Amino acid sequence: MLRTRAGARPIVVHPGWRTDVDTATFVALASTEAFRTPEPLRRARSLARDARARQAQRLPP
């Protein structure tokens, strides 16, 4: 568990394949400059929301 800022809820950080805990923590902190959620996840969620909205517009009521 990693707090990106004091008082913020922690995020879960764990090493992946051929990565250690220190590297995973470094990458998580480097990608959370402006927001609590890492930027790659923010972008993925945004793209998913946009895709769902486009799909919902194509479906008949």
| 10 secondary structure, DSSP code | P
CA–CA gap between residue 28 and residue 41 (Å, rounded): 11
At 20 the pLDDT is 94
Token duo for residue 55? 């799909």
At 48 the pLDDT is 95
* Global pTM value: 0.61
At 17 the pLDDT is 87
At 28 the pLDDT is 87
Regions in the chain scoring below 70 on pLDDT:
61
CA–CA gap between residue 57 and residue 53 (Å, rounded): 6
What are residue 30's phi and psi, to 5 degrees? -70, -25
Q: Residue 5 corresponds to which amino acid?
A: R
CA–CA gap between residue 34 and residue 36 (Å, rounded): 7
At 61 the pLDDT is 61
